[in-house]
């Protein structure tokens, strides 16, 4: 486990150093702050989907949940003039509900995760567009909006979710604090609680885990709930970050970045494997690649191609590493 986190970390450092050497502007504070901010936002979603991937499942609806949550939050704050903390509460309950629905459909109705969440992707996206008549909307109210009376509180939230904290001359984006707290919580959950252990066990062998007296259905539901909750948190962060949410576009394809980061970070789509640190670093690698392509001056038309190749090579390398470790274990005298 430690070895493949080291591998992805070396990849991160390598790309970082090469880019910095080719274009020293890469290292300026503004670029670094941006990189940290976007890496953190992506990492939140990636951590969420990691729970599901560890159980051997998949969630394709993350991007649409991000879109829907940011739309609903904006409506509540700006148009409805709702108490800001209640609005946050509503969006979190909405995302928990979505996760619960996914979990129940997968475990009780026995629909495949791919199908359930693919339909979710379509449904939540169109709900967001319908609610707003497909007009862009942001959480910050203007003078003639119902939410204007809460302006000060909303500005407070804006600072909390997309502000910057001055550390000397460096301005740390607040999403970095969110990912710090969330990743510690996720790591503790996965490695120090029995539920984390159960997620890994059932991802490796669901039947065997059930035969050991574990309520595997409940654990799977929990994984989907956590995934949607993390997507919902990401949705709130994105709403304040973007100021203007495009119901048709905000969050589009994000599920694929999240899944890519989880896989590059050491989760196997077969289930049963994954580490929080690996996933967070991998999310940063993905953002870094984007940034490097710009900085180094490679055509942006090649973005997807390079990203795809890096992920593919990373996963192949990981597979080799795992085989080597397995050989070593097999060779141990019993």
Contacting residues toward another protein, per CB under 8 A: 192-198, 200-201, 204-205, 207-215, 272, 326, 329-330, 332-334
Q: Provide, rounded to whole angstroms, the least separation between the CB of residue 216 and another protein.
A: 10
Nearer residue to another protein within complex by CB, 194 or 316: 194
Nearer residue to another protein within complex by CB, 86 or 212: 212
Nearer residue to another protein within complex by CB, 120 or 272: 272
Q: How far is CA 28 from the centre of its chain?
A: 26
Is 22 strand, coil or helix? Answer: helix
Q: Provide, rounded to whole angstroms, the least separation between the CB of residue 201 and another protein.
A: 5
Q: Per-residue b/e over 12-21, b at no fewer than 16 CB within 10 Å?
A: beebbeebee
Q: Provide, rounded to whole angstroms, the least separation between the CB of residue 200 and another protein.
A: 7
- Closest of 141, 152, 136 to residue 76, by C-alpha: 141
Q: Are 265 and 90 in contact (CB under 8 A)?
A: no
Nearer residue to another protein within complex by CB, 159 or 211: 211
Q: Are 55 and 269 in contact (CB under 8 A)?
A: no
Q: What is the DSSP letter of 169?
A: T
140: left (phi over 0), alpha (psi -120 to 50) or beta: beta
Q: Provide, rounded to whole angstroms, the least separation between the CB of residue 334 and another protein.
A: 5
Q: Provide, rounded to whole angstroms, the least separation between the CB of residue 222 and another protein.
A: 11
Nearer residue to another protein within complex by CB, 168 or 213: 213
Q: Are 200 and 189 in contact (CB under 8 A)?
A: no
Look up residue 266 and give its two tokens: 């050491």
């Amino acid at each position: 486990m430690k070895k493949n986190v080291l591998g992805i970390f070396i990849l991160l450092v390598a790309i970082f150093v090469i880019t910095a050497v080719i274009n020293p502007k890469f290292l300026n504070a503004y670029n670094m702050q941006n990189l940290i901010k976007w890496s953190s936002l992506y990492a939140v979603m990636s951590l969420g989907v990691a729970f599901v991937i560890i159980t051997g499942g998949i969630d394709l609806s993350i991007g649409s949940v991000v879109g829907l949550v940011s739309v609903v939050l904006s409506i509540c704050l700006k148009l409805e003039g709702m108490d800001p903390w209640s609005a946050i509460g509503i969006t979190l309950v909405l995302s928990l509900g979505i996760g619960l629905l996914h979990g129940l459909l997968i475990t009780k109705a026995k629909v495949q995760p791919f199908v359930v969440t693919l339909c979710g992707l379509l449904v939540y996206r169109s709900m967001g567009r319908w609610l707003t008549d497909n007009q862009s909307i942001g959480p910050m109210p203007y003078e003639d909006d119902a939410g204007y009376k809460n302006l000060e509180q909303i500005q407070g939230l804006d600072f909390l979710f997309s502000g910057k904290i001055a550390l000397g001359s460096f301005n740390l984006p607040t999403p970095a604090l969110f990912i710090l707290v969330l990743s510690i919580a996720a790591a503790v959950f996965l490695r120090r609680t029995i539920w984390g252990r159960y997620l890994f066990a059932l991802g490796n062998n669901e039947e065997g885990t059930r035969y050991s007296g574990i309520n595997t259905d409940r654990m799977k539901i929990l994984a989907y709930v956590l995934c949607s909750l993390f997507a919902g948190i990401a949705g709130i962060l994105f709403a304040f970050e973007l100021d203007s949410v495009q119901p048709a576009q905000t969050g589009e394809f994000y599920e694929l970045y999240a899944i890519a980061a989880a896989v590059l970070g050491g989760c196997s789509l077969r289930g049963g494997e994954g580490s929080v640190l690996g996933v967070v670093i991998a999310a940063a690698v993905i953002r870094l690649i984007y940034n490097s392509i710009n900085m180094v001056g490679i055509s942006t038309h090649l973005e997807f191609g390079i990203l795809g190749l890096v992920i593919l090579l990373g996963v192949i390398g990981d597979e080799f590493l795992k085989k080597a470790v397995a050989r070593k274990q097999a060779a141990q005298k019993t």
